[in-house]
Amino acid sequence: MNYHSKSADELRATQEDLRKLYDALCAAGLTLDLTRGKPAPEQLDLSNELLSLPGAEFRAADGTDTRNYGGLRGLPELREIFGEIFAVDPANLIAYGNASLEIMHHLTTFGLLRGTVDSSQPWSSGPVKFLCPVPGYDRHFAITEQYGIEMVPVPMNPDGPDVDACAALTAADPSIKGMWAVPTYSNPTGVTFSAEVTEGLLSMPAADDFRIYWDNAYAVHTLVDEAPTPLPVIEMAAAAGNPNRVYVLGSTSKITFAGAGVSFFGSSKANVDWFVENIGFATIGPDKVNQLRHARFFGDAAGVRAHMARHRDILAPKFTTVLGILEDRLAESKVASWSEPEGGYFINLDVPDGAASRTIALAKDAGIALTPAGSTFPYKNDPHDRNIRLAPTFPSIDDLQVAMDGVATCVLLAATETLLSAHGS
């Protein structure tokens, strides 16, 4: 029954039943974790062939000895494959280290200390702000918070960030220098940006040195038959008269090995040259052996997509399990809503206002770890205290069933508390 139409007495009776379920849950002594979007061991196993590549064939197609220093832009054969995946001209795509987050961190510190190709001064010579579509990715927000960049939340719609809201802010405030964006199967909402929204973000009025961090971490991570076609954002930005606005980022962290993959950076020629010039002070070259084995392992972009279909076989049943439990346990009560993503790594759960931290605390006491309340917002501040990010990829289906059933009990119990306090009892 819809909890909102229950009387206070009915809510109290429901709460008593839920308490019993909750006490039984606590007595079960669980230790389950739904916090981080990590690949499961069976997903990592899909790439085990990498462990014996490249073997003695350590020369790249152009004869480069991958064991030696050099090659700051990364191996051409791997850039060719991922250029197609990210819709970036391989000439303007760099294959770098093992973490795209590291590139985002570099881009931010370079901007702060040295400015960009369009800055007359370093960003840090004045106030610096970044637009942050919410809910969003906590590690993005952590980078900007770490460097004292003011984060300005902007609403996320079903087709991407609210462009009018973004444009009103960037047009009025030249200290807005950046924007976080996850264009495909966004973390945590699962939203994919439409072509119109993308066009709007690339063409809206903003400071010359305003940059969109186009973090396409989930470009090929589909749970349905086909991933969305990536948009050629670098060309689109150029056509909109803002050729240097967009930094494209991505990696194979959730394609091959999360800790031993390859990251990518694509942008205009000017931005890429600038990035290479700056990273030249940090490294003499990336791990080309790793890049070569990735190129051999995939062969081509179709090889990447075929590999992702094998991930999908493992992940789709997990997402179905979680969504099924949410539907069975929560739909009738009308106290929660959730995303039904077609890809990516997360399910986004919204509980009644004021009930997220209580739900998470109840789950924690029952041995179920959920991402801390507020994590999906800048400064960990969810103004409505209602958003919970669920990460179903790592646990086994059996563990997911137990954990999600427990989470549902916690959501319902917290909801009865919130509703009863609204009743004044």
Q: Where are the alpha helices (DSSP H) in 254-396?
A: 269-279, 288-298, 301-330, 356-365
Q: Please identify, using beta-carbon distances, which residue of 304 and 419 lies nearer to ligand PMP.
A: 304
Q: Please identify, using beta-carbon distances, which residue of 14 and 189 lies nearer to ligand PMP.
A: 189
Q: Please identify, using beta-carbon distances, which residue of 104 and 152 lies nearer to ligand PMP.
A: 104
Q: Does 187 bind ligand PMP (CB under 6 A)?
A: yes
| Region from 56-64, 99-107, 318-326, 404-412 binding ligand PMP, contact rule CB under 6 A | 99-107
Near ligand PMP in 367-386, by CB under 6 A: none
Structure tokens at 260: 């031993």
Instruction: Provide the phi-psi class of 55: left if phi over 0, else alpha when psi is between -120 and 50, else beta.
Output: left
30-66 residues labelled b (16+ CB within 10 A) or e (exposed): bebbbbebbbbeebbebbeebeebbeeebebeeebeb
Q: Does 257 bind ligand PMP (CB under 6 A)?
A: no
Q: Which of 14, 47, 100, 348 binds ligand PMP (CB under 6 A)?
A: 100
Q: Please identify, using beta-carbon distances, which residue of 182 and 368 lies nearer to ligand PMP.
A: 182
Nearest Cα to Cα of residue 393 among 34, 140, 137: 34
Q: Does 251 bind ligand PMP (CB under 6 A)?
A: yes
Q: Does 253 bind ligand PMP (CB under 6 A)?
A: yes
Q: Residues 21-50 vs ligand PMP: string with x where CB under 6 A?
A: ----------------x-------------
Q: Which of 21, 26, 40, 99 binds ligand PMP (CB under 6 A)?
A: 99
Q: Does 137 bind ligand PMP (CB under 6 A)?
A: yes
Q: Which of 93, 101, 315, 370 binds ligand PMP (CB under 6 A)?
A: 101
Q: Does 290 bind ligand PMP (CB under 6 A)?
A: no
Q: How far is the CB of 193 from ligand PMP (least distance, A)?
A: 13
Q: How far is the CB of 93 from ligand PMP (least distance, A)?
A: 15
Nearest Cα to Cα of residue 235 among 248, 218, 221: 248
Q: Which of 18, 156, 181, 182 binds ligand PMP (CB under 6 A)?
A: 182
Return the DSSP state at 59: B
Identify the burial level of 196 via C-beta atoms within 10 angstroms of its C-beta, where 0-12 means exposed, 13-18 middle and 19 or more buried: exposed
Residue tagged 């809910």 (tokens): 135
Structure tokens at 217: 């971490």
Q: Does 66 bind ligand PMP (CB under 6 A)?
A: no
Distance in Å from the first CA to the final CA of the chain: 20
Instruction: Provide the phi-psi class of 299: left if phi over 0, else alpha when psi is between -120 and 50, else beta.
Output: left
113-143 residues labelled b (16+ CB within 10 A) or e (exposed): eebbebeeebbbeeebbbbbbbbbbbebbeb
Q: Does 263 bind ligand PMP (CB under 6 A)?
A: yes
Q: Which of 154, 179, 217, 325 binds ligand PMP (CB under 6 A)?
A: 217
Strands 347-350 and 263-266: unpaired
Footprint of ligand PMP on this chain (CB under 6 A)? 37, 99-101, 137, 182, 187, 215, 217, 251, 253, 263
